[in-house]
Structure 1
Amino acid sequence: MRWDAFLEQVQERGKYPIPQEAERSARTVLALLGAHLVGEVRAELAARLPETFALILLNPLQATEPLSPERFVRATAAWIEGATEQTAAWDVSAVLSVAADAAGEDLTHRILLQLPPGYDLLFGHPET
């Protein structure tokens, strides 16, 4: 996916007034996500993202333990200046739903298998 297309989708879903807010959210959320994915799944997702975001995903922060979806949102809020848990949940969902679209159904399913239960809602793919 191209950089501008990815950011436009994040901006639209996140209802951000300016592209810089969408970029800030994407950088933060993908860095945190990269800390939770390993192996082929992380590499395949990176291959479907714009290069800058792929590098962020592939050079993640170090997670000492898997974060529950709630803790992932709290961590996002801590990294985004002025964010609350409510706004961070919005940021996370905007970015992860665009990432899921870029990944496709099969890869998104494999991503969710690497994450603790509950991330499906953040990706916009509730389990049925």
Structure 2
Amino acid sequence: MSVGTMLASTTVATADTANLTPIVTLGHGLHADQIATCVGYIDVQAASDYDAPYPPNYVRFTTHFIGVSQVCSVSGTIEWHNLDTGESGSRPWAVSGWDGPNAPTFASIEPGAGRVSLNITTSTPHIPSRGEFLAA
């Protein structure tokens, strides 16, 4: 796997793995109505090297939170736009503190092959993640 370069929202990845801008967000405990029990950021990476039979393209989330709850949960939406084909789509995603700090969570996406722009948001107050990568 080759390593992509750090991306701003308008930079194109030159490899099959790209670091997107991190998500800065509030999280909640076990229940969604427990907003702001934790705060932190999520490192986001997009890649196109997952082995068959699974779809090759995915987003990796690595959490970094502090708070008063034993569990920090965050959910949101991955939106993609294939800049070469014009196709777009979205899917939900979620991470949980049950796996411990810095534990990665993966979400597969199927944007089709080509240059893909990503916008990743949460259901709580946040600064979204954005970037591009080369999908398989």
For normalisation by structure 2, the TM-score amounts to 0.24
Name which one, 1 or 2, has greater alpha-carbon Rg.
Answer: 2
Considering fraction of residues, name the structure with more helix. Answer: 1
For normalisation by structure 1, the TM-score amounts to 0.25
Considering fraction of residues, name the structure with more strand. Answer: 2
